[in-house]
Amino acid sequence: MQAMEKALAVPGLPPHDPGTPALSVVDMHTGGEPLRIVLAGCPEVVGPTLLAKRRYMRQHLDHLRRRLIFEPRGHRDMYGAVLVPSELPDAHLGVLFLHNEGYSSMCGHAVLALGRFALDFGLVPAPPAGAREVRVNIHCPCGLVAAFVECEGGRSRGPVRFHSVPAFALATDLLVDVPDRGKMLVDIAYGGAFYAFVSAEKLGLDICSAKTRDLVDAASAVTEAVKAQFKINHPESEDLSFLYGTILTDGKDPYSEEPTTNICVFADEQVDRSPTGSGVTARIALQYHKGLLELNQTRAFKSSATGSVFTGKAVREAKCGDFKAVIVEVSGQAHYTGTAIFTVEDDDPLKDGFLLK
């Protein structure tokens, strides 16, 4: 016992391949949705722009995504962030988002966490004495997003809010034939990523009481049907022209002071534990487009998975190509959960991870 305690007290790494850098990470969560932020160990991600870096990582460094996200170091619903330099002069940092299928264009829960992380780990200038809030400009693949971090004594505290890229409704009341579930009207909106929106009731489900597996199956069926029957086009970038997932709602779109509940299923049937920051952004844009919400009218959005709540509001009108858009403010609380160092042994046949389905 004493020998074990002595060994544990000595800093160092377990046996590992010396030619493979250890990956050092900080883990956080926002409303229950995890975020694994890479501190060190990632090779240089090459590219003149953030979208080029995203393509480079997909083509040349995807094994690192699998090591970070997949079992045995992660799980099929893990989420990650690799910090990279940005070509934008106003950005404090650039970020690539990692999930079980690949690389997202936007992640609101991650932005809320990264706002805290950037302040606490010195990625932005130290705030002046007495400052109560710090702005952190985060370059996401969809564009520049401003996070506003509450602080005290130069450290983060309390909720974070962010202002989105221009968000807009792409299609409303789109008739989609979902195999084995029938034809239904679906909305598609953009909040840094494109989502399909449909009331769970149309699929015969109660968003608050249905089994998660049933919600996942239904949302995935909608996603596949929309992909097969409707072409997603972003007016400014082909890199952003894809459907990220489907958000099932309680159908309570008209304004109310009571929270409206939803669940987001994205990537390869990955379930967001939070209300989904970019999904809230898109849903606010959709409600504003339909005349159900006014500027600066705050709504609360509740996750059916964990009960966690984000708030959102449209703060001003904007344009994205020919689309009328809005800038949306989303607010939520992120927390730190720990740190880790991940290593690889070169004879490990599962070193790059695996997923069970």
Q: Structure tokens of 90? A: 């106003």
Residue 107 annotated in active site: yes
CA distance 70 to 75: 5
Tokens representing residue 272 in the block = 């967001």
Give the whole-angstrom CA distance, residue 335 versus residue 157: 10
Q: Reply yes or no: is the peptide bond before residue 127 cis, omega within 30 of 0.
A: no
Count of Cβ atoms closer than 10 Å to residue 311 Cβ: 18
Burial (CB count <10 Å: 0-12, 13-18, 19+), residue 52: middle
Alpha-carbon torsion angle 210, 211, 216, 218, nearest 10? -40
Query: What letter does residue 267 receive in the DSSP assignment?
Result: T
Catalytic one among 107, 142, 264, 320? Answer: 107
Per-position DSSP letters for 138-205, written without gaps between them: EEETTEEEEEEEEEETTEEEEEEEEEPSPBEEEEEEEEEEETTTEEEEEEEEESSSEEEEEEGGGGT-
Residue 16: other Cβ atoms inside 10 A = 16
Q: CA 92, CA 110: separation in Å to the nearest integer?
A: 15
What residues act catalytically? 107
